[in-house]
């Protein structure tokens, strides 16, 4: 039974990534996620992605990534009639997630206090760049803005190349994950006490929270984090190493792992070399140690070393491209992706990835493909009860 949120209805008013990713996690767990999109084009992500044809069709690859399993309606919340229809939806919903700038929903007359009148038990989640309060609350925020402000860019890259942006929208993704976690927790309270919640998710704060180790090293030890490229500041040898073919990540973080590594690469004497014999001395002499290890690793390709080291208990893994990892047996055998052969609005089959967990041995998957804009308007509104009756039950 992977539908842990079966019977839960979530309204998704979000755009682009953080909010849609949040709601996608809930859809994967069986929630009925209704995507409320504004005319004329709906979610901006429908126009974003590597395929111009799909962008033009309103099914951009960026949209497809985190909207499978949802249903779509189109409402213009600036119009009174559509606001009334939206309130009908709210009256039947358990949770709502939006990622507008703070104050937008209030100006529409649809803020949290208004929606509580319609559905007192509603879990309302607002995801924004900086949160609903504070001097930066009204600033526009995209992932790269948050990456820069959070400190992530300052520690990404080498001393020569930093600051660098992480290669995918990590701050947006973290905001979405935290939002989904908070909503799920609030739904537990809702179902036990009938109490709703207002969840204020700040992407900046989510990112800072995820920077736990670097932040702690500064707050606790007074050590300012710095960019170290592929090296691990807490241990050596721990990083990416050149081999006879390809890069190999090795994390010999424990003393016994280092000793084993030295033997496996045919350099057992390194384990007793005064420069490398202890954890702290290895960190001080990491550059020299890396050169010696790479000289030995040149004898075989990364794949061979990966197998040999892991069998002996030394953590190791090739540095793969995205196409490569998607074809790895570890990924394919656990059903990480779902395939839809026929998708309305698309001229090709579609593969999307699920969440990063399984439930009782089964992989939660979206119930259907990403929706066309407004695809489910008639279906959803035809089943809504009169709002007065719903309010009495809320």
Exactly one of 12, 106, 172, 273 is catalytic; name it: 172
d(CA 382, CA 89): 11
Q: Helix 143-150 vs helix 203-210: angle between axes, to the nearest 10 degrees? A: 50
273 given a catalytic annotation? no
Q: Could you give the 3-state DSSP secondary structure of residue 330?
A: helix
d(CA 115, CA 298): 64
DSSP letter string, 69-138: T-EEEE--TTSHHHHHHHHHHHTT-SEEEE-SPTTHHHHTT-SHHHHHHH-TT-EEEEEESS-SSSTTTT
Identify whether the C-beta of residue 129 lies closer than 8 Å to the C-beta of residue 141. Answer: yes
User: N- to C-terminal Cα distance for the chain?
Assistant: 27
d(CA 121, CA 115): 10
285: number of Cβ within 10 Å: 16
Q: Please tell me what DSSP assigns to residue 341.
A: S
Sign of CA dihedral 63, 68, 73, 76: negative
Identify whether the C-beta of residue 293 lies closer than 8 Å to the C-beta of residue 236. Answer: no
What is the 3-class SS of 240-295, one letter each residue?
EEECCECEEEEECCCHHHHHHHHHHCCCHHHHHCCCCCCHHHHHHCHHHHHHHHHH
Q: Please tell me what DSSP assigns to residue 224.
A: P
Which tokens hold the place of 319?
């540095």
Residues labelled catalytic: 172
């Amino acid at each position: 039974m992977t539908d842990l949120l079966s019977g839960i209805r979530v309204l998704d008013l979000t755009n682009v990534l953080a909010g849609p990713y949040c709601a996608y996690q809930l859809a994967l767990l069986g929630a009925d996620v209704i995507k409320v999109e504004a005319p004329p084009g709906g979610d901006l992500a429908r126009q974003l992605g590597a395929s111009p044809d799909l962008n033009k069709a309103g099914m951009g690859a960026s949209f497809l990534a985190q909207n499978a399993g949802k249903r779509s309606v189109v409402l213009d919340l600036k119009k009174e009639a559509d606001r009334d229809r939206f309130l009908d939806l709210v009256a039947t919903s358990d949770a709502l997630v939006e990622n507008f700038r703070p104050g937008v929903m209030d100006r529409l007359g649809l803020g949290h206090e208004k929606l509580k009148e319609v559905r007192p038990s509603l879990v309302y989640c607002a995801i924004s760049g900086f949160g609903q309060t504070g001097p930066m609350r009204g600033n526009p925020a995209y992932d790269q803005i948050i990456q820069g402000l959070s400190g992530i860019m300052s520690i990404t890259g080498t001393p020569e190349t930093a600051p660098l942006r992480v290669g995918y929208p990590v701050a947006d993704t973290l905001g979405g994950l935290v939002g989904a976690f908070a909503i799920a927790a609030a739904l537990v309270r809702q179902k036990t006490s009938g109490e709703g919640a207002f969840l204020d998710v700040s992407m900046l704060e989510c990112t800072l929270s995820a920077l736990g180790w670097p932040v702690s090293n500064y707050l606790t030890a007074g050590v300012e984090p710095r960019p170290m490229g592929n090296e691990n500041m807490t241990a050596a040898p721990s990083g990416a190493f050149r081999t006879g073919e390809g890069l190999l990540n090795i994390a010999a973080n424990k003393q016994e792992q280092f000793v084993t590594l030295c033997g496996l690469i045919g350099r057992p004497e390194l384990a007793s070399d005064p420069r490398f014999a202890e954890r702290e001395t290895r960190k001080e002499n990491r550059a020299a140690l890396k050169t010696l290890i790479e000289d030995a690793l040149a004898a075989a390709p990364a794949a061979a070393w990966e197998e040999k080291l892991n069998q002996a208990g030394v953590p190791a893994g090739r540095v793969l491209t995205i196409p490569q990892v998607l074809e790895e047996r570890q990924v394919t055998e656990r059903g990480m992706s779902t395939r839809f052969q026929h998708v309305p609005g698309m001229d090709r089959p579609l593969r999307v990835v699920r969440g990063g967990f399984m439930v009782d041995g089964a992989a939660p998957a979206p119930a259907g493909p990403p929706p066309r804009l407004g695809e489910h308007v008639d279906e959803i509104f035809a089943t809504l009860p009169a709002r007065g009756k719903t309010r009495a039950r809320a």
